[in-house]
Structure 1
Amino acid sequence: MMLPKIIFCIAVSLATLAVILLALVSPVSHRKPSKNNSRPWLALSLYIQQPHISSSNAQPAAAADAGAFIFHQILTEGPENTSRVVGKAQGFIIPLEQFAQSAFNVIYLTFDTPDYSGSLSVQAKHIAHKDTEQLTVVGGTGSFAFARGLAVFAQTDRQQSDGDATYHVKLHLNFPNHSRTIPG
């Protein structure tokens, strides 16, 4: 009768010891967080410019009609209009006071590069028509799924030949699921 109790106590003790040893020597418990998982933020720097359109197919890239501002511009890596195109900036903004909180006031930044494919939605509700605007990123798709953060739009000193300004966009993005971050 005593032998089964001793065997049971030894088995429980060995099982407990095995669990403790596995916890102490397991490579998973001592693994340092990877570089990607330790940084839930992504910072990007881009430029919004007028698209290059031949004079025979000229259509306005931005139009203001009856108080609405509709635009379709390109995103480039650098400030020069010859920089590599990385996507598009499109939007529909009604700057009138009574539409300041309109859900239509959104700027969509669409990316199509080997590193990033998807889009970001930037709220444009509180535009004060300053040289620098800080807007809120409210979501994204593809590589930017569920992104949140800030988008700082600043007019550069560069004027294009047609008089349109170039805008520098700094994106500071956070991803709610920290295990799914994009290396920056």
Structure 2
Amino acid sequence: MMAIFDDPVTKDRNLLSPPVARAQGFYFYDKKTAYNAWFTFTLVFNSTEHKGTLNIMGADMMNEEVRDLTVVGGTGDFFLSRGIATIHTDATEGIKYFRLKMDIKLYECH
């Protein structure tokens, strides 16, 4: 199964909070014996605080409490960014709905 998404990203857990970015991309389940997924998405920022994008991709081992996805690039304020997006599953309702908490750490490369 493949899912395409365009979801708001907020600073807190409230879906109705003002978004700081949008997460646009897709994921597909890639293992028959467990729910593991492969994600690729872009965080699109367009606010007074940040403008640009961050591109994130990698395997999401959904049964693990904490997972890391790779930040593979960016544009605007995040031009040529590299780093790690640490993912925690914050809430689930079966396989139809889930909410993720992300902690993004960027590093400089010259």
Name the TM-score, length of structure 2 as normaliser: 0.78
Match of residue 97 from structure 2: 164
Q: Distance in 1 between matches of 2:109 and 2:17?
A: 32
Q: Distance in 2 between matches of 1:147 and 1:128?
A: 24
**Alpha carbon RMSD of aligned pairs, Å?**
2.2
Q: Within 5 A, what are the aligned runs for 1:74-85?
A: 74-85=8-19
2:79 to 145, 162, 180: 145
- How far 1:137 moved relative to its partner? 0.4
5+ residue gaps in structure 2? 32-37
Match of residue 175 from structure 1: 108
Could you tell me which amino acid in structure 2 is paired with residue 121 of structure 1?
N
5+ residue gaps in structure 1? 1-66, 98-103, 178-184
Structure of greater Rg? 1
The runs of 4+ residues in structure 1 deviating greater than 4 Å are: none
SS across alignment from 1:156: strand
Comparing both structures, which one devotes a greater share of its residues to strand? 2
Comparing both structures, which one devotes a greater share of its residues to helix? 1
SS across alignment from 1:82: coil
- How far 1:105 moved relative to its partner? 4.4
- How far 1:96 moved relative to its partner? 2.4
State whether residues 78 and 84 of structure 1, in contact with CA within 8 Å, keep that contact through their aligned partners in structure 2: no
CA displacement, residues 34-55 of structure 1 (integer Å, 9 cap, x when unaligned): xxxxxxxxxxxxxxxxxxxxxx
The number of residues matched between the two structures is: 101
Q: Give aligned-pair identity as a percent.
A: 26
- How far 1:81 moved relative to its partner? 1.8
Greater relative CO, 1 or 2 (CA 8 Å, sep 6+): 1
